[in-house]
Structure 1
Amino acid sequence: MKGISFFWTTVNLFCKTLLLSVALLLIYLLLDSVLFAKEGKPVLLSEDDKATEKFGLDGKINLLFLLGVVLIVLASGLCPLGVLVEIYGVPVEGQNLLRDILLLCIAGLSWRYTDYNCRKLNGFSWDPIKEVAKLFLGIFISMIPAIAILKAGADGALSGLIQLVSTDGQPNNAMYFWLTGLLSSFLDNAPTYVVFFNTAGGDPAHLMYDIPATLAAISAGAVFMGANTYIGNAPNFMVRAIAENQGVRMPSFFGYMAWSFGILIPLFFLLTWIFF
């Protein structure tokens, strides 16, 4: 994105992601063990009551389609085609348009070649997708003025926030991490990343090789803190919508934040102390 080498993020965020992932998996294991113990041990079925269906995997063709998704997204990052057209002043790059068309084709192939009975048994419904689409359409429209204010930088209404990311002309990596992250918690992570990328100078070579810690702070904040709220990333809300559609009770918007802040914010302070 913005000229950053595709695998630069993989290399420079590896240790940070590993630390966060291990910590979260250990916390999950602890919580799951405690909650499972409260539910009581499951009753073992007798041989007569056990299911006779053999262990297997339905819809195996979708593994191929998932591989296709990964390769298409990877290719869109490695093979820029330049700006193809502008729509109301918004440039649409060729690789992005081609990527989206191919992803829609893969979704169509998955629908066509996945057995209907498989979807029926899984309780598949379009309702969660519709709910998320409506919500994020509203979010993307609502965040246009917020992003415009941020892009105005020191001349905008949030100039005080923008000025916090530098001290005596030097980038303050901790503030880059937290400000990018907090805004990414309620706005989309990509435009938030771009705003602070430009605030840090906007030169990919300079950011990658001269001040890599600053770019890592922006990248980490934009990605990691998207988990703080249901709307920080579309998959957060999609999981909630699917679960509720299946009759599973889920936390409210602020109930989710109570869990996420209680678990994630201390870990983010740890990341700040170690890396930023």
Structure 2
Amino acid sequence: MGNIPLWLCIPFAGLLLCIAIFPLVKGEWWDKNKGWAVLIWSLLFMIPFAVKYGAGETAETVLECIVNDYLSFIVLLFGLFCVSGNINLEGDFVGSPRMNTGLLAIGTLLSSCIGTTGASMLLVRPMIQMNSWRRNKSHIMVFFIFLISNMGGCLTPIGDPPLLMGFMRGVPFTWSLRLFPVLIFNMVILLTVFYFIDRRAYRRDIALGMRPDISRPTTTLKVNGLHNIIFMIMIVAGVVLSGVLPGMKAFQNADGSVISVPIFRSVRLAVPTLIEIVIILVAAFLSFKTTKSEVRTKNHFTWGAIEEVAVLFIGIFITMQPALMILKSKGAELGLTKPLEMFWATGALSSFLDNTPTYLVFLTTAGTLGATSGIATTVGTVAVKMLMAISCGAVFMGANTYIGNAPNFMVKSISDENGIKMPSFFGYMLCSLKFLIPVFIIDTLVFFL
């Protein structure tokens, strides 16, 4: 298609501005009309694109994005949302600074076992319930997004999709465990900061006369719908299979390409992806069939959060295509040859674009730099520190904005539904500038120079 003009990125920027501004100035209107905004900005991308490149090319581009990116993204989110909504943790745990800090620490490490989305959906409601008695609590969910929804996913390919893509391209499954020192370093800093912020907010709440219900022993913990852990494991297995099956000969054509279902022109749905989708949907269906509705009632379960994410992100996925095309065509020309450059470039773009293709662009770029030692991948040998920088940039900096990583917006929506006044789009970015960017600067000095 040649060089993609930069002006085709305007609809993407316009949609992001709508997501950032309208909830502040026209909240009720936005709640009712966000679907129309998504449709209009998507058409404002597709129509000029069709005029320049043809209707067939446009249909192919949009379908490629929906079939091979958005579909698996939203099905995974839907499955985890359903299954986690059928697990209810009941206990007399009080949302104190120590308890909140401990749950954040546990959740951050859990993210690498069941994915950032899985851990977020599993723990977001217990965190909200623990702190339901408090007034000053939005900072709790902001740090929840920082740690559980993002940073915690850096240790395994299960943790975050970019690392899964790296695994599919030859990065060893256990390689990302090397990022453990970076994760622990960041956890210590952020959890310490969080503890003192939460302690101050906790004392303000107590001073306002707020008291938790501590009439029963604080050691009680009851898990309703515990059998849904089986369905959670099913979903994680489906994600892992989608990364493993393409490398098996049984799922390859004679020319080595993955067996797939033709959709339109070159757009094809890979059979391993189809298997993943079926497994996730079956898990979600069985979860609802085998769990009493009382569990969902206790969780204040509604479909609002997943509906909002589904609507907004299909627009984001479609309108960001020109930006991704430009990045793919120009990535090797950016002159990024040092780990610190890769860390910040990958991270900055992952804050607003899908971090998976961003990771792949810079992994491919790093593979062309001619490293003589490091990690051998299908895109070339990548120096260890360079791969660490790309991986951390993609995973960590997805926390910089609500749209940087899939669970961010979901956690925000569920928090809003439960009466927690979350920061606006720009307000959240201010939080990330205040708390995350200093940590990333320290990371650069300690790990990526």
Pick the TM interval, shorter chain.
0.7 to 0.9
Measure how far apart 1:86 and its partner are. 4.7
Larger RCO, structures 1/2 (Cα 8 Å, 6+ apart) = 2
Is the 2:234–2:279 Cα contact (8 Å) retained in structure 1?
Answer: no
Counterpart check, 1:128 vs 2:305: yes
Contact 1:4 1:208 in 2 (8 A): no
Question: 1:200 aligns to what SS in structure 2?
Answer: helix
Q: Return 5+ residue gaps in structure 2 as ranges.
A: 1-164, 252-257
Aligned counterpart, 2:318: 141
Q: Does 1:77 align with 2:249?
A: no
- Give how far 1:46 is off: 8.7
Candidates 368, 386, 401, aligned match of 1:229: 401
C-alpha separation between the residues in 2 aligned to 1:15 and 1:107? Answer: 35
5 Å matches for 1:185-196? 185-196=351-362
* Residues matched between the structures, number: 261
Shift of 1:83: 4.0
For 1:203-218, what aligned pairs fall within 5 Å after superposition?
205=376, 211-218=383-390
Give, as a single letter, the amino acid of the residue that structure 2 aligns with 1:151. K
Match for residue 197 of structure 2?
31
* 1:163 equivalent in alignment to 2:340: no
Comparing 76-85 and 178-187, the one that deviates more = 76-85
Residue correspondence of structure 1 range 1-276 to structure 2 within 5 A: 1=165, 2-40=168-206, 42-43=210-211, 55-80=221-246, 81=251, 82-88=258-264, 89-153=266-330, 162-165=333-336, 171-201=337-367, 205=376, 211-276=383-448
Question: SS of the counterpart of 1:79?
Answer: helix
Cα displacement (A) at 1:197 = 1.6
Looking at structure 1, the residues matched to 396 and 292 of structure 2 have their Cα atoms a distance apart, in angstroms, of 36
Cα 1:87–1:46, aligned 2, differ >3 Å: closer, same or farther? Answer: closer
Q: Letter of the 1:265 partner, please give it.
A: I
Unpaired segments ≥5 residues, structure 1: 166-170
Query: For the Cα contact (< 8 Å) 2:171–2:376, is it kept in 1?
Result: no
Q: Secondary structure at the match of 1:205?
A: strand
Distance 2:405 2:278 in 1: 22
Secondary structure of 1:152's aligned partner: helix
Give secondary structure in 2 for the equivalent of 1:85: strand
> In angstroms, what is the RMSD of aligned CA positions?
2.5
Q: CA deviation at 1:266?
A: 0.7
Instruction: Give, in angstroms, the shift of residue 55 of structure 1.
Output: 4.7
User: 1:178 and 1:44 mapped to 2: Cα distance?
Assistant: 43
Aligned-pair identity in percent equals 41
Letter in 2 for 1:114: T
Q: Kindly indicate whether the alpha-carbon contact (under 8 Å) linking 2:367 and 2:380 is maintained by their aligned counterparts in 1.
A: no
Q: Please say if residues 327 and 361 of structure 2, whose CA atoms lie closer than 8 Å, have aligned partners that are also in contact.
A: yes
Contact 1:85-1:93 at 8 Å conserved across structures = yes
- Tell me, yes or no, if the aligned pair for 1:164 and 1:172 is still in contact at 8 Å: no
Q: Which amino acid in structure 2 is aligned with residue 3 of structure 1? A: R
Q: 1:30 to 1:90 in 2, by over 3 A?
A: farther
Q: Partner amino acid for 1:187?
A: L
Q: What letter corresponds to residue 192 of structure 1 in structure 2?
A: T
Determine if contact 1:244/1:250 at 8 Å carries over to the other structure: yes
For 1:230 and 1:86, how far apart are their aligned partners in 2? 34
Residue 7 of structure 1: SS of its match in structure 2? coil
Q: Distance in 1 between matches of 2:376 and 2:212?
A: 61
Q: Which amino acid aligns with 2:433?
A: F
- Indicate how the Cα distance of structure 1 residues 195 and 40 shifts in structure 2: closer, same or farther if over 3 A, else same: same
Quote the offset at 1:14 in angstroms. 2.0
Instruction: Give the superposition deviation at 1:43.
Output: 3.9
Give SS of 1:104's match: helix
> Does the Cα contact within 8 Å between 2:367 and 2:381 map onto a contact in 1?
no
Whether the 8 Å contact between 1:72 and 1:102 is mirrored in structure 2 is yes
**CA contact under 8 A between 2:362 and 2:390: conserved in structure 1?**
yes
* TM-score normalised according to structure 1 size: 0.85
